[in-house]
Amino acid sequence: MKYVVGYRPDERGADAIALAGVIAKTQGAGLHLVNVVHGGREADPSEEKAALALVPDGVAATYSTRTADSFVHGLIDAAKEDNAALIVVGAASNGLFKRFTVGSVANGLLHASPVPVALAPRGYNRREPLTRLTVMTGVREGWQAVLDVGIAAAGRRNVPLRLVSLVEIDQLEQDDFDLDHALSPARQHVNTVLAEAASKLPEGKVAVTLAHGRNIEEAVDGIGWKSGELVVVGSSRLAENHKIFLGSTANKILRALPVPMVVVPRDLVRQGI
């Protein structure tokens, strides 16, 4: 298994390598650090040395510089050539520490990548392996692919899997409002998803959370997060088959998260990350 890491000689490159190393640990996954440059610029040998020095011990990595019209196209081409399971990039550099601001590279990948994309929040510097996977499972079409990725990834890493369904109270009908009644469809869905996941993972390795708030951001803030956590979300129904398109709900989740997130393409066939 191989992950393509979008590298630049700045803090975003360091964040991406740190996250890729965390996800790769215990997987035997190798990293391909890809520095995309525009035509006319020669490769700087010192950048390769600096990049490889950031890779955690025990994780195999290679480095290459490639010329492309854009960083996004260069990373996608590299991922296709490597048959990579994941593209990993850092968030934009002007965001709050340990939070996300989606820059042009991340935004481009989140609307075009044929493989899952992992986003590292600014300042991400964890070195230990993952401790938990959280799958955001909505009731709309496409949730099955996201669940399959989460089950497979949690099973291989032997880490707990948490299934979360978010309900935005302000978007529900307000006439004769009954919170328990309003949450009933989401509760039924997460119980169905929980039963499926529990049948495929060891006992005690799956939990479910139904989170709600006046908006998505409030619901996300109300969930407890671990420093070694990774969140997995799916693409919008507007996405082309086998490609990513970050929907409005996933975008709201991203901007509220304090931990890394992986976005899975629509109708993903390959389930490994």
Other Cβ atoms less than 10 A from the Cβ of 91: the count is 28
Tokens 């109270």 correspond to what residue?
Answer: 169
Report yes or no: 234 and 266 within 8 Å, Cβ to Cβ: yes
Alpha helices in 99-215 (DSSP H): 104-109, 143-157, 179-198
Instruction: Tell me the residue type at 233.
Output: V
pLDDT of residue 81: 97
Tokens 């600014």 correspond to what residue?
Answer: 122
pLDDT of residue 176: 45
Instruction: Tell me the residue type at 145.
Output: A
Among 234, 262, 211, 219, which Cα is nearest to 23's?
A: 262
Distance CA 123, CA 66 (A): 26
Distance CA 23, CA 236 (A): 24
pLDDT of residue 138: 67
Largest CA distance in the chain: 67
**What domains, with CATH codes, occur in the chain?**
2-120 (3.40.50.620), 132-264 (3.40.50.620)
Structure token pair of residue 184: 């009933």
Tens-digit pLDDT profile for residues 109-165: 888 888 999 999 888 999 998 999 999 876 666 677 788 889 989 998 899 999 888
pLDDT of residue 140: 62
Q: What is the DSSP string of 66-119?
A: EE-SSHHHHHHHHHHHHT-SEEEEEPPTTS-TTS----HHHHHHTTT-SS-EEE
Instruction: Tell me the residue type at 247.
Output: G
pLDDT of residue 98: 47
pLDDT by 10s per residue, the chain, length 273: 999 999 999 999 999 999 999 999 878 799 999 999 986 666 688 999 999 999 999 999 999 999 998 999 999 999 999 999 999 999 765 555 445 566 678 788 888 888 999 999 888 999 998 999 999 876 666 677 788 889 989 998 899 999 888 776 655 555 445 666 656 666 777 777 778 888 888 888 988 887 777 788 888 888 889 889 999 988 765 444 555 656 677 778 887 888 999 988 876 766 678
- In a 13 Å sphere around the CA of 36, the CA atoms on its Cβ side amount to 17
Please name the residues in contact with 35: beta carbons below 8 A apart, sequence gap of 6 or more: 7, 8, 9, 43, 47, 48, 51, 63, 64, 65, 66
Distance CA 6, CA 87 (A): 7
pLDDT of residue 59: 95
DSSP state of 217: H
Structure token pair of residue 266: 């629509």
pLDDT of residue 267: 66
Report yes or no: 45 and 75 within 8 Å, Cβ to Cβ: no
pTM reported for the whole predicted model: 0.87
Under the phi-then-psi rule, with left for phi > 0, alpha for psi from -120 to 50, and beta for the rest, what region is 123?
left
